[in-house]
Structures are given as structure tokens and as C-alpha cells.
Structure 1
């Protein structure tokens, strides 16, 4: 039964990590028009147990995208400098939508893996009851 619990644990950690990734993508999209906003990113890290890889993943710390902010010309904006420009955000909506799709598909793949492990463990218990 340990292999089944490992499969549940691995797929659940993947779903958890993808859900958090999707949360950051949605924050980036929501703040795409916020002046001075830097895109948030998080990298996946492998979970180690006793120095060995466990197959589970977790998200690393939040990092801000270091790309330059877009300069927007609007002399009437309260944040505009003497030249009429202000710093926008560095969020690219096309990239964010692609990241959201990837996170959704990865979440669904982990969900299918979880369901498959559940079905296999249920079938094993049915066999053992006979």
C-alpha cells in the first residue's frame, strides 16, 4: 500500500503546486495595468526526504521578474515625470495566458494520476476481499 500512498502524495503535491502557480498567474493578470508592478514568478523545487528524492514538488520563494518596466507616455497621469512618462508593469498577458493554460493542463494530468491510483487501490482492495 506504500506505493499507492506515494502516488497519492506525488499527484497531490503536483496539484497543490499548480494551484499556487495559477494563483500567481491570476495576480499578475489582475495587476497588468498597475503602474510599477513587477511580474511574480515561482520555480518548482523537488522535495527531498532523508537526502533522497521523493517525487513530490513544491514551489520555491516568490521572485520578481527583473525585466524593465514599460514606459508609458501620458502627461496627464499623476505618476508621470517631467517628460510625461511613467513606469507601467512588465506583465505580458500572452505569456500569462500561456502559463495559465500550462498550469491547468498540468493540474488535470495530476488529477488523472490521482484518480488512476485511487481506482487501482480500490480494485486491489476488492481483490483482497474475495
Structure 2
């Protein structure tokens, strides 16, 4: 029974991590046109909890993409310098959509694992009641 509980804990940690990743992806998409915005990057780390199951994950510190910001020419923009340029956002919409799809699929896989472990626990309890 402990193994089934551990598997639910592992999948729950994956669900939390992928939800945080989706949150950052949605922030990036929302700021695709914000001047000077740097893309947020999410990494995963092993969760080292004394009581938790081995193999659980959590999100690491949020990092900002250090790629150079594109220079946008628009002399009428309020943030434009004397030459008419301002720093744009380094968010690439295609990459963000791909990241969102990957996070969604990983979230769904963790959800299926959680549901399978729950169903197996319920089946085991039903057998023990008989």
C-alpha cells in the first residue's frame, strides 16, 4: 500500500511542477509584446524531502532568458531612443506554444498515473474488505 501512496505522491509532485511551468509559459505569452520583457525559464529539480517518495520533482528557481533583446524600430513609441529604436521582448510565440503543449501532455500523463494508483488502491481495499 505504501508503494501506491508513493506513486500518488510522485505524480502529484509532477502535477505541481507542470502547473508551475504552464503558469510561466502563460506569463511569457501574455508579455510577448511587452518592451524589455525577458522570457522566464523553468527548470525541474529533485525534491529532497525526508518523508517524501524518492524521485519527486519540484520547480527550481525561475531564470530569465539572457538572449539579446531584439531592437524594434518605431520612432513614435514612447520608449524609443533618439534613433527611433527600443528593446522588444525575446519571447518567441512558437517556442512558448510548443512548451505549453509539452507541459500539458506531461500534466495529463501525471494525472493518468495518479488516477491509476487511486483505482488500484480502491481495488486493493475492496479485496481486503471481502
> TM bucket by the smaller chain?
over 0.9
1:97 aligned residue: 97
Provide structure 1 residue ranges, at least 5 long, that are not aligned to the other structure.
none
SS of 1:22's equivalent?
helix
Deviation of 1:42 after TM superposition, in Å, equals 1.4
Please report how far the alpha carbon of residue 10 of structure 1 lies from its aligned counterpart in structure 2 after TM superposition.
0.2
TM-score, with normalisation over the residues of structure 2? Answer: 0.95
Q: Helix, strand or coil: the match of 1:11?
A: helix
- Could you list the per-position Cα deviations for residues 61-95 of structure 1 after superposition, in whole angstroms to 9, with x for gaps in the alignment? 11100001111000111111111110000000000
Structure-2 separation of matches of 1:31 and 1:54: 36
- Runs (4+) of structure 1 exceeding 3 A deviation are none
Distance (Å, rounded) in 1 between the aligned partners of 2:82 and 2:66:
25
2:3 aligned with 1:35? no
Cα offsets for 1:4-50 (capped at 9, x unmatched): 11011000000011001000000000001000000001100011245
1:1-130 equivalences under 5 Å are 1-50=1-50, 54-130=54-130
Structure 2, unpaired ranges of 5+: none
TM-score normalised according to structure 1 size? 0.95
Helix, strand or coil at the partner of 1:45: strand
Q: Match of 2:69, SS?
A: coil
Distance 1:58 1:35 in 2: 30
CA distance in structure 2 between the partners assigned to 1:35 and 1:55 by the alignment: 39
